[in-house]
Amino acid sequence: MSQTNNRQAIHYQAQDRECEIFNAAANNKLPVLLKGPTGCGKTRFVEYMAQQLKRPLFTVACHDDLSATDLVGRHLIGANGTHWQDGPLTRAVREGGICYLDEVVEARKDTTVVIHPLTDHRRLLPIDRTGELVEAHPDFMLVVSYNPGYQNLIKGLKPSTRQRFIALEFDYPQAKLEASIICQETGLDTQRAEQLVLLGEEIRRLKDHDLEEGASTRLLIYAAKLMQSSLSTVEACMAALAQPLSDDRDTIKAIERLVNAHF
């Protein structure tokens, strides 16, 4: 769990009307579901919106051992006996703020029990350990994200859960936008950024055939950052774009060829 405070301004370039939709959802106290491939800017978007809305953000990266207790809270032993410690979800519900459950399908099934009453008109969080029923703060908002990819082929969200959210689909940004994002994030020159984006598109074409997932915007930014340091362009691309995506020698070699074709 991490709580982000609004210290420095976060950059986010809208791809479409997602900011407006998110704002409308926030104003109407509706929960939001973000779907899209890895590293296309879902988390960044939530951080940005939290800052825009001036609400604290509670981010929880879900994993397969994450249970409802981790979200709601637990009893801890202190010097003066035991005391109750709120989990990130409970804090957001009490204090008002955005609770962001990243990769929600990874979490255990029992988490849906706490999500359901929070995502309809009741906006309640029952804490069975303490017997408390917390009514959500007007500023509370639940945002979940998931990645409809191969590994979630079976896992997918249950329709009964999906139906409770406003959903926004994310994808890798358009070439021009992506290049400008890279420039802004790393200060790379436009020409090389554009070349990098072209390379990224080519690698993305290999998805589902040779790669499980294409090169994310995040990886492109990493590559650009490496380029800005002392590494050579090709080295940077290999380290950031080829090796992380595949273990297959032939695929890596082919990607190396693609890199060489650009730089």
Partner 1 sequence: MEEFIGEVWHKYISAKVATGYPEAALELTHLQSQLSTYFHGLGGAPGKVVEAAEARALNNHRPLLQRIAGSHRRASLCWQDQRSLRLPPVIDYLPEKSLNEALYFWLAALAAKLPKMSHWFLDNQLATLTILKTHPGLKTGYEKLAKAVVEQRPLIEHLPLKLQAREQAMQQAILKPGSVDSLPMAAGDPLFVPLWLYPAPLFDVANNQAQDDEEQASSAKKETNEPPETLDTPRKEAQRFDDEKQTDGLLVFKLDALFSWAEQVDMDRSQQEDLDQDLQGAADDLDVITLSKKRKAGSAKVKFDMDLPAPFTDDLYLGPGIKLPEWNYKKRAMLKDFCFLQPMVSDEATPKKLDNNLKKEANALKRQFNLLRPISALQRRQPFGDEIDLDAWLDIKTQPNATLDGENLYLAKKQNERDMSTLVLADLSMSTDSGVTTQQRVVDVIRDSLVLFSEALSACDDPFALYGFSSIKNKQIRYQLLKNFSETYSDETRGRIMAIEPGFYTRMGAAIRQSVSVLKLQKSQQKLLLIISDGKPNDIDHYEGRYGIEDTRQAILEAKRQGIQPFCITIDSQANDYLPYLFGDQGFALVRKIQQLPKLLPKLYLNLTQSI
Is residue 85 near partner 1 by the rule CB under 8 A?
no
241, with CB counted inside 10 A (0-12, 13-18, 19+), is buried
Report in angstroms how near the CB of residue 63 gets to partner 1 at its nearest: 13
Report in angstroms how near the CB of residue 51 gets to partner 1 at its nearest: 36
Dihedral sign computed on CA atoms, order 58, 70, 68, 78 = negative
Nearer to partner 1, 195 or 217 (CB): 195
Binding mask 161-200 for partner 1 (x = CB under 8 A): ----------------------------------x--x--
* DSSP H or E segment with residue 23: helix 18-27
Torsion angles phi and psi, residue 194, rounded to 5: -65, -40
Contact by Cβ (8 Å): 102, 145: yes
Nearer to partner 1, 7 or 209 (CB): 209
Rounded distance, CA 117 to CA 128, Å? 13
Within residues 144-163, the interface with partner 1 by CB under 8 A covers: 151, 153-156
Is residue 208 near partner 1 by the rule CB under 8 A?
yes
Report in angstroms how near the CB of residue 64 gets to partner 1 at its nearest: 8
Is residue 129 near partner 1 by the rule CB under 8 A?
yes
Within residues 56-75, the interface with partner 1 by CB under 8 A covers: 64, 74-75
Report in angstroms how near the CB of residue 254 gets to partner 1 at its nearest: 3
Rounded distance, CA 106 to CA 64, Å? 5
Count of residues in the chain: 263
Q: By CB under 8 A, name the binding residues for partner 1.
A: 64, 74-75, 77, 81-82, 84, 129, 151, 153-156, 195, 198, 202-203, 205-206, 208-210, 250-251, 253-255, 257-263
